[in-house]
């Protein structure tokens, strides 16, 4: 069992040269959990403190003070959920909706639909606005559907900023315009689990009522925490919500007099220290600089794909660069066996790539390029993929490594 990314591996058995080269620091390039900085890991590694007073309370206060900045809100109330992203999804639903309410889930890949399925289990009626696997949500289709709801039966619109299956990035501001143009009062809820801290996002300026995120993707903290930011309209909707889940309920958290009430009990101590350090690192870098770094790294990935691409071989899932995520890329592999690329990278080189999920199984792989990442980490990933393509004698246009290096090199200096 591997417990750290620098564990020694057994030498390859006689004649078995599969792992010959694979003795170094592993690279995990999946779209979450992403690589956790040493600073965050070190901050988490500590004995348990007094949870009623002292340093931990200061850390907790600082986290709640800083979280709104990451979502670009001054009016949104942050909530910390001791759960993965699914827990934040549930918190958003059970605090703002009532049984029998209808929500509209905007399909663009997998995740808005899965969020909707969770809402349905809570007694909410869910309508899916169908979308495609290789396109963003069409704001005109949203406008049309909302215009056809004069009685305002739809109580909430569920959207995903970046769909981690297809690597599409939806235009959240344009979807907001569809609600505004139709003067539709539905709550606008956005899943930024894969994108927060990576892609430009403006909760207040884009009129988002509920933002949801997780710790383990762009925010550089191990899985186990997630976040909800609730704007004034969402807090008001809480009054009429009747899907109450005690552990996730906002009422006691909004009225918290002791900081552990913000967590519905004992605080997740190591995660709070890790999150404090990650938020410090994000503030040091600057959110806008982070967005730009992610864009430049993504452009290097795209340059590599463009160069590799060939008839029947490697290609983009999202053709339009403006609709591509800058945090994750889904790469179609045509006639090339995507699972063999992943196997070679993992076993021969210690590189873990994301697998194609849902309809993409076996015909795509994914690169997570989110969070704590610099050019050598990314170029190493791309070069290792190219080595696997060479090993497979797979069709390849040109060197993606050269293209990625040229793309990044243009920004050195
Ligand atoms: C990862 C992800 C989720 C699910 O998050 P978990 O932490 O696995 O529960 C939901 N939505 C998006 C867009 C994601 O990328």
d(CA 279, CA 63): 8
Distance 69 CA to ligand 1 centre (A): 21
Topology of 20-37+286-409 in CATH?
3.90.1150
pLDDT tens track for 356-388? 998 899 999 999 999 999 999 999 999 999 999
- Indicate the Cα dihedral angle 131, 202, 281, 329, nearest 10°: 20
- 3-class SS of residue 331: strand
- pLDDT score for 18: 86
When the pLDDT of each residue in the chain is averaged and rounded to a whole number, the result is 95
Handedness of CA 171, 176, 181, 184 (dihedral sign): positive
pLDDT tens track for 134-192? 999 999 999 999 999 999 999 999 999 999 999 999 999 999 999 999 999 999 999 99
Please give the average per-residue pLDDT across 267-280, as a whole number.
98
The full DSSP string for 360-400 is GTTTEEEEE--SS--HHHHHHHHHHHHHHHHHTT---SS-H
- Residue 320 in this model has a pLDDT that exceeds 80: yes
Q: Where in the chain is the domain with CATH 3.90.1150.10?
A: 20-37+286-409
Six token digits for residue 348: 């021969």
Six token digits for residue 319: 């053709």
Please give the average per-residue pLDDT across 112-129, as a whole number.
98
Q: Where in the chain is the domain with CATH 3.40.640.10?
A: 39-283
Radius of gyration from C-alpha coordinates of the chain: 22
- 3-class SS of residue 288: helix
- pLDDT score for 10: 55
- Residue 91 in this model has a pLDDT that exceeds 70: yes
Please give the average per-residue pLDDT across 114-132, as a whole number.
98
Question: Residues 111, 160: contact at Cβ < 8 Å?
Answer: yes
- pLDDT score for 308: 98
Distance 412 CA to ligand 1 centre (A): 33
- pLDDT score for 11: 53
- pLDDT score for 2: 40
For atom 5 of ligand 1, the residue with the nearest CA is: 85
- The pLDDT-based confidence of 345 (bands split at 50, 70, 90) is very high
State if residue 193 touches ligand 1 by the CB under 6 angstroms criterion.
yes
Task: Tell me 324's DSSP state.
Answer: B
State if residue 333 touches ligand 1 by the CB under 6 angstroms criterion.
no
Question: Residues 399, 321: contact at Cβ < 8 Å?
Answer: no
State percent of the chain over pLDDT 70: 96
Q: Which CATH architecture has domain 39-283?
A: 3-Layer(aba) Sandwich (3.40)
- pLDDT score for 232: 98
- pLDDT score for 14: 52
State if residue 85 touches ligand 1 by the CB under 6 angstroms criterion.
yes
d(CA 211, CA 213): 7
Six token digits for residue 75: 């009016």
State if residue 354 touches ligand 1 by the CB under 6 angstroms criterion.
no
d(CA 114, CA 295): 27
Distance 52 CA to ligand 1 centre (A): 32
192 CA: nearest ligand 1 atom = 13
pLDDT tens track for 4-27? 444 555 555 555 688 999 999 999
Other C-beta atoms closer than 10 Å to the C-beta of 320 total 12
- pLDDT score for 381: 98
- Residue 340 in this model has a pLDDT that exceeds 50: yes
Q: Is the pTM of this model over 0.75?
A: yes
pLDDT tens track for 227-248? 999 999 999 999 999 999 999 9
pLDDT tens track for 25-59? 999 999 999 999 999 999 999 999 999 999 999 99
* 287 prior amide bond cis, ω within 30: no
For atom 12 of ligand 1, the residue with the nearest CA is: 193
CB-based contacts of 410: which residues, under 8 Å, 6+ apart?
Answer: none
């Amino acid at each position: 069992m591997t417990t750290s990314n620098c564990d020694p591996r057994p030498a390859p058995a006689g004649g078995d040269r599969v792992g010959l080269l694979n003795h170094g620091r592993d690279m995990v390039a999946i779209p979450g959990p992403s690589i956790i900085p040493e600073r965050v890991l070190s901050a988490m590694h500590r004995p348990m403190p007094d949870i009623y007073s002292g340093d931990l309370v200061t850390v907790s206060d600082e986290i709640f003070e800083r979280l709104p900045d990451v979502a670009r809100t001054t009016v949104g109330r942050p909530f910390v959920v001791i759960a993965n992203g699914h827990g934040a999804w549930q918190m958003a639903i059970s605090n703002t909706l009532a049984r029998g309410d209808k929500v509209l889930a905007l399909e663009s890949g997998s995740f808005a639909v899965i969020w909707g399925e969770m809402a349905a289990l809570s007694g909410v009626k869910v309508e899916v606005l169908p979308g495609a696997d290789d396109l963003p949500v069409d704001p005109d289709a949203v406008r049309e559907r909302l215009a056809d709801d004069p009685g305002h039966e739809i109580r909430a619109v569920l959207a995903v900023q970046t769909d981690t299956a297809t690597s599409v990035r939806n235009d959240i501001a344009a979807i907001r315009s569809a609600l505004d143009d139709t003067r539709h009062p539905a709550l606008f809820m956005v899943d930024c689990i894969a994108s927060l801290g990576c892609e430009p996002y403006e909760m207040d300026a884009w009129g988002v009522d509920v933002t949801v995120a997780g710790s383990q993707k762009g925010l550089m903290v191990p899985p186990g925490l997630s976040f909800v930011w609730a704007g004034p309209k969402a807090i008001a909707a809480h009054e009429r919500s009747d899907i109450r889940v005690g552990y996730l309920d906002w009422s006691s958290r909004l009225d918290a007099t002791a900081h552990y009430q913000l967590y519905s009990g004992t605080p997740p101590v190591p995660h709070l220290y890790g999150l404090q350090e990650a938020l410090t690192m994000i503030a040091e870098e600057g959110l806008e600089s982070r967005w730009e770094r992610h864009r430049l790294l993504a452009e290097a990935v795209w340059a590599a794909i463009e160069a590799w691409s060939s008839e029947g071989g490697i290609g983009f899932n999202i053709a339009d660069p403006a609709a591509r995520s800058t945090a994750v890329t889904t790469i179609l592999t045509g006639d090339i066996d995507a699972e063999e690329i992943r196997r070679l990278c993992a076993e021969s080189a210690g590189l873990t790539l994301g697998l194609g999920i849902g309809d993409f199984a076996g015909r795509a792989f994914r690169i997570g390029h989110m969070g704590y990442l610099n050019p050598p980490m990314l170029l190493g990933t791309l070069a290792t993929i190219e080595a696997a393509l060479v090993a497979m004698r797979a069709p390849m246009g040109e060197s993606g490594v050269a293209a990625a290096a040229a793309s990044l090199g243009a920004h050195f200096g």
